[in-house]
Amino acid sequence: MRTIDITERQEEHGNLQAFMMTLRPRRSADPRVAYGFCAVLGVVWLMAGAMIASFGGWPVLGFFGAEFIFIAGMIYIFLRRTEVVETVEITAETVHVTRRDPRGREDKAFPAYWTQVHFDGSPTENATLEIRSHGERVEIGRFLSASEKDRTALKIADVLQRLRTAAPR
């Protein structure tokens, strides 16, 4: 799964009609793989526990079960924390930022002509990436690396600049 997806639609004159960027945290495994791992681990531990119990080591079964529940719980928490999707949609009129995560959804809209992208970092130094306008701001890409934030800031700034130059005076 890619971290940053970009979609652009342009008019026949080459002017930007719409721009959409979707940001997601990196994931080492999708839910099917993670839950499949838990299932295989559960079967292996159940068989090992049954074998140990048949030799008279039945008290070990409780520890096997507790370890399995702990590992399965940690995988569940990991998967929930990576269910974050941030979308930046830019049209000629507005910049719309949407953040969806397990806690809910946040929406923020800015006028496109006055919107600025602010990133004080560099490709090697991490800092906050913000979209600002008229004293309001929203942070995006908290989960991105410094180089990804730098590329994202440059791309959004480029799109906003193209919109400003194409806007009628």
Rounded-to-integer distance, Cα 88 and Cα 161, Å: 16
Quote the pLDDT of residue 8. Answer: 64
Quote the pLDDT of residue 91. Answer: 87
The per-residue DSSP string of 33-83 comes to: HHHHHHHHHHHHHHHHHHHHHHTT-TTHHHHHHHHHHHHHHHHHHHHHHT-
Using CB atoms within 10 A of its CB, is residue 149 exposed (0-12), middle (13-18) or buried (19+)? buried
Rounded-to-integer distance, Cα 9 and Cα 163, Å: 13
Q: What is the pLDDT of residues 86-108, one digit of tens each?
A: 999 998 889 999 999 888 899 99
CATH T-level fold of 4-25+90-166: PH-domain like (2.30.29)
134: left (phi over 0), alpha (psi -120 to 50) or beta: left
Q: What's the predicted TM-score (pTM) here? A: 0.72
Q: What is the pLDDT of residues 39-94, one digit of tens each?
A: 999 999 889 988 998 998 888 888 888 998 999 999 998 888 888 889 999 988 89
pLDDT (mean) for 112-117: 92
| C-beta separation of 159 from 19 below 8 A | yes
**Percentage, residues of the chain above pLDDT 70:** 89
Within 13 Å, how many C-alpha atoms sit on residue 89's CB side? 11
